[in-house]
Amino acid sequence: MFWHSFKYALRSLLKNRSMMFWTLAFPFVLALLFNFAFARLHDYDVFEAFDVAVVDDDEFRDAEVFSEAFKSLSEADENRLFVTQYVNRERADELLEAEEIEGYVYLVDGEPHVKVKKNGTNQTVLTTAVSQISQRIEIATDIIETKISKDPMSAMNIEQISKEAIEAVSEVEPNIKDNSRVMNMVVIEFYTLIAMACMQGAMLSSEMIDRALPNISSRGKRIAAAPTRKSVIILSNLLAGYIVLLTGVLGLIAFMRFVLGVEFGSNLGLICAHAAAGSLAAIMMGMFLSVMLKTNSSAKNIIGVIVTMVGCLFAGMFGGQKGWFDSVMPFVNKISPVGLITDGYYALYYYEDMTRYFMNLGGLLAIAAVFMILSVQGLRRQRYDSI
Amino acid sequence: MTVSKAFWKIVAKNIGVIVTYTIILVMFGTINMSSNSSTAQFEAVKPKIAVFNHDSENAFTNNLLEYLDKNAEIQQDYSEDSVKDDLFYEAIVMAIDIPENYGKDFVAGKNPELHTRTSSGYAAELAKVMLNKYLATAQSYTVLDLPADELAEKINKVLDNEIEVETLSKIDTTQFAKPTRYFNFANYAILACVITIICLIMGSFNRREIRRRNLVSAVEISKMNGALLRNSCLYSFGVWLLYVVIGYFLVGSKELLNLRGVLYLANSLAFCICATTIAYLISRLISGRNATDAVMNIVALGSSFLCGCFVPAEYLPDFVLTFAHILPSYYYVAANDKIGTLQGLEFSDIRPVLINIVIILGFSVAFVIAANIISKAKQRE
């Protein structure tokens, strides 16, 4: 009888086009849109040489050290910062006005000046680079002057001192060891989307249980009158919903991983286990809402959507505010299924130690267990005086 | 009158939809406005960093800390446990570990190792440049074998000497980032509110039994259609007015009560008209609450994601922006972005904005024509 009921639950679920759209198709559409919108958000940070100009007048030609240093930053190699045009002042102004260059450099009394149209990232890079060249010249001059003031006789050997000073500023290599792993923050958006897809299970199971409840639907009355145990009906409906949901979620993960190239870490088993636990928690939450709330199906759906979307907001779906929410209300993401699903995938991707992942997995299973126990308590020995 | 009454009854019944999308606009519009993704504000922001100093009291290390404090925002009482997560979420962009005896070894010319952990992104690059600049300057001076306090003095003298930067902009347009972001985000809310409600109403009137009843009623079908169209426009105007009032409170009167503000309002009004015609077209193609919700979500979310409403257009891939040219939202967002960066308000300055508004209205005309063609074809069936 269980498999008979399961078969019809599955068939009726698959024929529900609206439910199938929101559970199976909509997360794929969103994943595609996320991919379009966020594709360059991370790549945008990768530096590319940009257009600038230098006023090529007598001042610039006379300032040999400065002009050589600037030209070296425009050479076509991997350290290139600028694509430089050497023009007169009028042309530089025209180029800047037309936004064909980000800014231009000119010298007044040997001092470099920068002219930009507006403030921005490239303008900051140009200013910083020109400032560094200027400061290096200043340091070299200062080193020469200090050495001569300490030992006036060394002025006789000015060429040697100048050479040492130039070496001192040009051969510096700050000893900074960067221990970072380059990570892509955008993956969180995709993890929250998986969590959202799992949470569609709440709507799905709520609908499935509502069908079996005599006080909600006429089909429920018929089922209640049938000589089949309530537990068989409920379990078969839940299993059908769970299988459809999990298939959709795993398909979504495969689509993200293999088509969109979203990184999840390398442990395929744990990636699937987390999807299974997340889907289970959502299915149980839907059952809980359906059993406990004495209202119609659409009101239960609205509550499910609110829980999901607020969870998504706290988990970082809308603009990476997770860090801020965690600092203000740290407990929310510890008890929200959306937060636990997102954080589990984050732990798999970013952490080598699996403790955090298993904490999240355990949290999801605990939520599923609590909802299941409460729902079973609610469903047991339900009797109706009148329907 | 009967048609108008029925129209507003359905609006009142679905007031929850308007409230929901308005809450979304207020909530995410506020988050969007407070975020700092604009490159225009890059220079004004100090990178957030954490420093773990294991060195003893030392003039060189103290000077480094003072320099970092001046050029970055150092997080106070920071815990090592938070570093990994905060770097990922860019709550801090760099963590610096100053080892024991760092200052002493540096002054002695040993060039000791400094450990950093950085996030990705321009703010992290800026922090790296800042630290590198200090250490490079300090390292250059080590050839003079100076004591720590004299070395610090020389470093400060060089680093305080900044070059002169001239800006061509007549006005600082970063102040208009807020209204631009608000009105860009309103794209989603306008589409969602207008399409859902108008499609629901049109769908109700187009239901077979209602349509047949109306056909045999005393009201002429052209008059009924006219009333529906008038009320749809009135409803859209109400949505626009509501979002303008909310914008007034969220963005502030200073940014909206001027010619630039009038341009934002004109652009959003043109887009509201366009959204009404999109709804009119969709209602000719589909009916039913579930189908309406699905199509509305795809149209509203799709055009918002693809045209730069949620993520600024400058971050979108070129092929997405090229595709977006076929959507009215693209011209709406482009006009908002242009209004936000206008250097002057002469006719020649605002011409590109007006062109975009005309294109949006052109889309509206095209949608109405398409809807009428479909409607006539359906009538023949």
**Residue A386 has which token pair?**
């009148």
- Ranking B53-67, B169-183, B351-365 by mean pLDDT, the lowest is B169-183
Please provide residue B52's backbone torsions phi and psi, each rounded to the nearest 5 degrees: -115, 100
More confident: B329 or A228:
B329
Q: Exposure of A305 by Cβ count < 10 A (0-12 exposed, 13-18 middle, 19+ buried)?
A: middle
Q: What confidence tens digit (pLDDT) does each residue in B264-291 have? A: 999 999 999 999 999 999 988 887 777 8
DSSP code at position A321: -
Cα separation, B143 vs B135, whole angstroms: 14
For A138, residues 6+ apart whose C-beta sits below 8 A from its C-beta are B158, B161
Return the closest-CA partner of residue B186 out of B6, B332, B78, B63.
B332
The winner for highest mean pLDDT among A179-193, B313-327, B353-367 is B353-367
Q: What confidence tens digit (pLDDT) does each residue in A330-346 have? A: 888 889 999 999 999 99
Q: What confidence tens digit (pLDDT) does each residue in B227-261 have? A: 888 899 999 999 999 999 998 988 887 777 888 89
Which residue matches tokens 């984050």? A346
DSSP code at position A330: T
- Ranking A294-298, A311-315, B320-324 by mean pLDDT, the lowest is A294-298
B140 contacts in chain A (CB < 8 Å) = 136, 139-140, 143, 168-169, 172
pLDDT at position B241, please? Answer: 94
**Residue B174 has which token pair?**
């970063």
pLDDT at position B42, please? Answer: 40
Q: What confidence tens digit (pLDDT) does each residue in A112-167 have? A: 999 988 777 788 888 888 888 888 888 888 888 888 888 777 777 778 888 888 87
pLDDT exceeds cutoff 70 at B35 = no
Mean pLDDT of B196-215: 84
Instruction: Evaluate whether A315 touches A342 at the Cβ level (below 8 Å).
Output: yes
Instruction: Evaluate whether A101 touches A53 at the Cβ level (below 8 Å).
Output: yes
Instruction: Evaluate whether A292 touches A380 at the Cβ level (below 8 Å).
Output: no
CB pairs under 8 A between A and B: 209
Instruction: Evaluate whether A124 touches B126 at the Cβ level (below 8 Å).
Output: yes
pLDDT at position A69, please? Answer: 83
3 state SS of A120: coil
A130 CB neighbour count, 10 Å cutoff: 23
The backbone region for A351, taken as left when phi is positive above 0, alpha when psi lies in -120 to 50, beta otherwise, is beta
Q: How confident is the model at residue B37 (pLDDT cuts 50, 70, 90)?
A: very low
Mean pLDDT of A63-72: 84
- Beta bridge partner(s), residue A50: A82
Across the interface, of B129, B136, B167, the residue whose CB is closest to A172 is: B136
**Residue B39 has which token pair?**
């490159």
Which residue matches tokens 């200043």? A138
Cα separation, B81 vs A213, whole angstroms: 49
Q: Would an 8 Å CB–CB cutoff place B91 in contact with chain A?
A: yes
For B110, residues 6+ apart whose C-beta sits below 8 A from its C-beta are none
Cα separation, B122 vs B41, whole angstroms: 12
**Residue A296 has which token pair?**
């119609």
- Of chain A residues 261-320, which have a CB less than 8 A from chain B? 313, 316, 318-320
- Beta bridge partner(s), residue B48: B73
pLDDT at position B335, please? Answer: 95
DSSP sequence for A208-239? HHHHH-TTT-HHHHHHHHSSS-HHHHHHHHHH
Q: What is the 3-state secondary structure (H, E, C) of A263-277?
A: CCCCCHHHHHHHHHH
pLDDT exceeds cutoff 50 at A280 = yes
pLDDT at position A337, please? Answer: 93
* Average pLDDT for chain A: 86
DSSP code at position B98: E
Which residue matches tokens 């040492």? A164
Chain A: closest CA distance from residue B226 (Å): 32
Q: How far is CA B285 from CA B203, B290, B292, B327, in A?
A: 10, 14, 10, 18
CA angle A128–A133–A134, rounded 5-degree value: 95
Q: How far is CA B11 from CA A381, B201, B204, B245, in A?
A: 43, 8, 12, 20
- Ranking A54-63, A74-83, A346-355 by mean pLDDT, the lowest is A74-83
Contact A169 B140 (CB under 8 A): yes
DSSP code at position A255: I
pLDDT exceeds cutoff 70 at B41 = no
Cα separation, B192 vs B211, whole angstroms: 26
**Residue A142 has which token pair?**
């200062």
Chain B: closest CA distance from residue A177 (Å): 5
Nearest CA in chain B to A94: B168
Contact A172 B154 (CB under 8 A): no
CA angle A344–A241–A14, rounded 5-degree value: 125
Q: Max CA-CA distance within chain A? A: 113
Cα separation, B362 vs A277, whole angstroms: 51
B355 CB neighbour count, 10 Å cutoff: 14
Cα separation, B133 vs B354, whole angstroms: 47
Q: What confidence tens digit (pLDDT) does each residue in B184-194 have? A: 989 998 999 89
Assembly ipTM: 0.78
In whole angstroms, how large is the CA radius of gyration of chain B? 29
For B32, residues 6+ apart whose C-beta sits below 8 A from its C-beta are A319, B181, B182, B185, B310
Mean pLDDT of A371-385: 81
Mean pLDDT of B123-127: 83
Q: Would an 8 Å CB–CB cutoff place B73 in contact with chain A?
A: no
Cα separation, B64 vs B135, whole angstroms: 9
Across the interface, of A33, A128, A172, the residue whose CB is closest to B301 is: A33
pLDDT at position A308, please? Answer: 86
Q: Would an 8 Å CB–CB cutoff place B286 in contact with chain A?
A: no
Instruction: Evaluate whether B187 touches B25 at the Cβ level (below 8 Å).
Output: no
Nearest CA in chain B to A309: B24
Q: Would an 8 Å CB–CB cutoff place B117 in contact with chain A?
A: yes
Mean pLDDT of B339-368: 90
pLDDT at position A322, please? Answer: 74
For B265, residues 6+ apart whose C-beta sits below 8 A from its C-beta are B244, B256
Q: How far is CA A176 from CA A14, B72, B132, B133, in A?
A: 59, 18, 8, 12
Q: Exposure of B96 by Cβ count < 10 A (0-12 exposed, 13-18 middle, 19+ buried)?
A: buried
Please provide residue A107's backbone torsions phi and psi, each rounded to the nearest 5 degrees: -115, 140
pLDDT exceeds cutoff 90 at B170 = no
A113 contacts in chain B (CB < 8 Å) = 163-166
pLDDT exceeds cutoff 90 at A79 = no
DSSP code at position A24: I
Cα separation, A318 vs B115, whole angstroms: 33
**Residue A60 has which token pair?**
């610039």
Q: Which of B137, B157, B171, B327 to mutate to test the interface with A (most CBs of A within 10 A)?
A: B137
**Residue A125 has which token pair?**
């890079």
Cα separation, B355 vs B349, whole angstroms: 11
Return the closest-CA partner of residue A126 out of B163, B106, B69.
B163
